[in-house]
Structure 1
Amino acid sequence: MEGWGGGGGVCKWKNKKGDPRNSERVCAYASGKFSPIKSTIDAEIHAVMKTLEALKIYYIDKREILIRTDCQAIISFFNKSTQNKPSRVRGMTFVDYITGNGIEVQFEHIEGTSNILADSLSRLINVLINAGWKDE
């Protein structure tokens, strides 16, 4: 998310849990802008939360979901925070949001070169923001 003006996410599905990753099909995209963020990890956390919010209709009836991200820091942050909740508002908000939906959430790290769709959405929204695009 260059410039930290927005984020993007992709919702994919596969028929069975054990099916290979190359059998996944895209069912929805989400992208948007958000107010300035203080740090990189804050931007990543915010992007995950906004994407989950936008795509909720696609996973609300599922028992578990997998969140893939090219940001190892967010995975480490989540794993540490579920073991011992941090006192910081950021951590509590993120963990409560992820764990408060009754769905088991797994995180998986992917290489940035494999995160093409989500990164493209992030770049697109930033181009629109920088061009003066406004919400109507």
Structure 2
Amino acid sequence: MSVTNTAVTSEVGGTSAHGPCGTDDCGIRDILDRLGDRWTVLVLVELSKGARRFSALQRAIPGISQRMLTLTTKRLSRDGLVERIAYATIPPQVDYRLTAIGRSLAQTVFDLADWSRDHKDAIADARTQWDAANVR
């Protein structure tokens, strides 16, 4: 469902189509939006390998601009998933590392990646079957 199409709230057994919280998303929508961001998962995966300096992190993620990496690391820091450590050096040096909660999320991301690898053939087969049955 698109962000602009959120009006569907059919009630079934005291809960809506949005889940057990009804139209109140229980505060998870912004977190799920963060995970759906193009760069968040890639930053988490890279930081799961250990602390990284900004430039090393940028080199490790092909296609990410300095601006997007800055925004992503700031958002992840605000969410408590990444710790930003600034050193008083000339020029200033900054390390980024996952917090404990960030490490637990990274593990969940790895579990999802494992699930994806385990089921990619079955999903590809299902798509092929669906496409064949729904050709106009």
TM-score normalised by the chain length of structure 1: 0.31
Higher relative contact order (CA 8 A, sep 6+): 1
Larger strand percent? 1
TM-score normalised by the chain length of structure 2: 0.31
